Amino acid sequence: MTFHLKPILVSALLFMSCNTGKLTVIGSIDSHLEEASAAQLISNSDLVWTIEDAGNKNNVYGLDLKGDIIRDIDVSNIKNQDWEDLTSDSMGSLYIGDFGNNSRKRKNFFIYKIENLANVDDKTEALTISFTLPKSVKSEDFESFFLWKDNFYIFSKENKKTMLLKVPNQVGEHVATYVTEYELKGKDTRVTSADISPDGKTVVLLNHDRIWTLTKFKTDNFFEGVVTKIDLKHDSQKEGICFKDNTTVYITDEDSGKEDNHIYSLKL
């Protein structure tokens, strides 16, 4: 006897059989977004916001937890040179980190601010915060940042270490402040996304197969606190992380061609 399973049931069985280690799959990202490069929540919205990186549209996308595109907003006055991460403030503004630098030759970096995003229709303009590096700092690739106490904290994507820079949340031109450099132990330790918990007590740094948590810090040299590695038991091109609450994070990955890209949750 031959049984014919309906497509929905087949999808459900595949979904359940996927080995995702410590991560819980909560959604499969719309296939139109092959390079979901960030994940961020904002005030007055129940969507997970994302972007695509270099070579893609200058749009921000709001996903529901199933991964469907609910909002698609064109940011008309800026260019996607290499968008890499997102952060937000308590007023509902979204910030785009345009600081990807694969060639290590870039000299000018940008953070774009979209105010009151939840009430934007399908097109908007952004304010620009630009920065350069201190003269003593070598140009690196940057893919992760967050906002804390009215400053952006930006992490370089280097193997074996990461550099931390600080830029004020003020529209205009700035020279970044060097904070510190920290050696991350393990293979392929490049940081692809970062966030800080709503209570400001926990920083998370994302890698393809692990997370580092930074806790018990007393200054903005977050690495002077306790650094803990969490092995996710799952390896994919993870590019986005954000806090759902003080102890739970959402994670997104890009479509590697081997499997679909997903939204995951993890209890820290």
| Per-residue model confidence as pLDDT tens digits over 158-196 | 999 999 999 999 999 999 999 999 999 888 999 999 999
Q: Does this model's pTM top 0.85?
A: yes
For domain 22-267, is the CATH number 2.120.10.30?
yes
Please tell me the number of Cα atoms within 13 Å of 138 on its side-chain side.
Answer: 9
- Provide the residue count of the chain: 268
CB atoms under 10 Å from CB of 195, counted, come to 29
- Residue 257: predicted pLDDT: 64
Tokens of 175: 């020279």
At position 61, the amino acid (one-letter code) is Y
At 21-76, the pLDDT tens digits run 999 999 999 999 988 999 999 999 999 999 998 989 999 999 999 999 999 999 99
- Residue 10: predicted pLDDT: 36
